[in-house]
Amino acid sequence: MRYESPRNSRDAVALMASERGDAYLLAGGTDLLVRMRGEFIDPDLVVDIKRIPGIQDIRRMTSGFSIGAGASCAALGRNKALVRAWPGVVEAAQLIGSDQIQGRCTIAGNMCNASPAADSMPALIAARAKAVIVGSGGRRRIAVDKIVTGPGKTSLEKGDIVVEIVLPIPPPKSADAYQRFIPRSEMDIAVCSAGVSLTLGPRNVVKQARVVLGAVAPTAVLVPNAARAIVGTRLDEDAMMKLAAACEKACAPIDDKRGTVEFRTEVAGVLARRVAAIAYDRARRKR
């Protein structure tokens, strides 16, 4: 196995695109190394992206936040401006693994690993995050929900590298939240999860919302009907019931030892309600 650590993204793309054997990108390595050591994969080439200048940075620009593909989830939690703007994205990222894993794992890696239960995905989709991709054809920006196409599958092509995740600056009176269900207090894989991002208008009425569920379908699912159920309301009981019902309807989960279809479906509705309430409360306290 060759190990390369290119100093710019163009070289990284060239290495990935020209490799005839199996080539993998290394960001945090918390999935890649496990798969290598478990002999699920046998790479001929591993390209470590962390030496690309700026790739571990988190920057606040006028257009939004740029989170480098090599920035660890621990670093996200330490960035106060990001925590203030997107508390739900950060709390989702910080649910991934122990402190040891947090020190290495990245949200770009969490996305590219394409697990249906990836914690950061519902929150990123709810936040309208975009991925900046560098490939043989140049640089492009794609909404994160267009990247994961199924369990372990992405729309990325050979040589494509996600170099940044970009989050918009949230409008005034906006907030997000994320929760998952696991059978213990931490360090487990989501049985089901929900991310909600919303913006309040006059008199704290919900003006805009995005509701996303995780681990209840082959990919995280945006549920426009759930958002519709709460827009124009102050999350009264009737709106909350409609929100939960819309979420239950959007579920197409698997049955496994961690959760039955019925359980995942019901809990998806419950979590969506709780998460919407948290996001609402956070938004109300914002200017």
Partner 1 sequence: MKGIAVSTTVNGDAVDFVCEGRETLLDVLRNRLGLIGAKEGCGTGDCGACSVILDGELICSCLALGAEAEGREVETVEGMADGNKLHPLQKRFLEKAALQCGICTPGFLIAAKALLDSNENPNESEIRFALAGNLCRCTGYDKIVRAVSAAAGDLRRQKKARLKRRATK
Positions in the binding site for partner 1 (CB under 8 A): 1-3, 5, 26, 29-30, 33-34, 36-38, 43, 46, 48, 50, 72, 74, 97-101, 103-104, 186-187
- As measured in angstroms, the least distance from the Cβ of 57 to partner 1 is 14
Considering the complex, state which of residue 3 and residue 172 has its C-beta at the smaller distance from partner 1: 3
Considering the complex, state which of residue 74 and residue 254 has its C-beta at the smaller distance from partner 1: 74
Q: How far apart are CA 207 and CA 167, in angstroms?
A: 19
Decide: helix, strand or coil at residue 238: helix
CA-closest candidate to residue 85, choices 107, 63, 117, 108: 63
- As measured in angstroms, the least distance from the Cβ of 63 to partner 1 is 29
Radius of gyration of the chain (CA): 19
Q: How far apart are CA 9 and CA 138, in angstroms?
A: 10
- As measured in angstroms, the least distance from the Cβ of 19 to partner 1 is 13
Written as one letter, the residue type at 152 is G
Q: Read off the tokens for 36.
A: 């290598």
Q: How far apart are CA 39 and CA 36, in angstroms?
A: 5
- As measured in angstroms, the least distance from the Cβ of 23 to partner 1 is 12
Considering the complex, state which of residue 43 and residue 269 has its C-beta at the smaller distance from partner 1: 43
- As measured in angstroms, the least distance from the Cβ of 129 to partner 1 is 24
Decide: helix, strand or coil at residue 236: coil
Considering the complex, state which of residue 257 and residue 285 has its C-beta at the smaller distance from partner 1: 257
Q: What does DSSP assign to residue 192?
A: E
- As measured in angstroms, the least distance from the Cβ of 28 to partner 1 is 8
Decide: helix, strand or coil at residue 121: helix
Considering the complex, state which of residue 83 and residue 101 has its C-beta at the smaller distance from partner 1: 101
Strands 148-150 and 130-135, by their bridges, are: unpaired
Considering the complex, state which of residue 50 and residue 273 has its C-beta at the smaller distance from partner 1: 50
Decide: helix, strand or coil at residue 122: helix
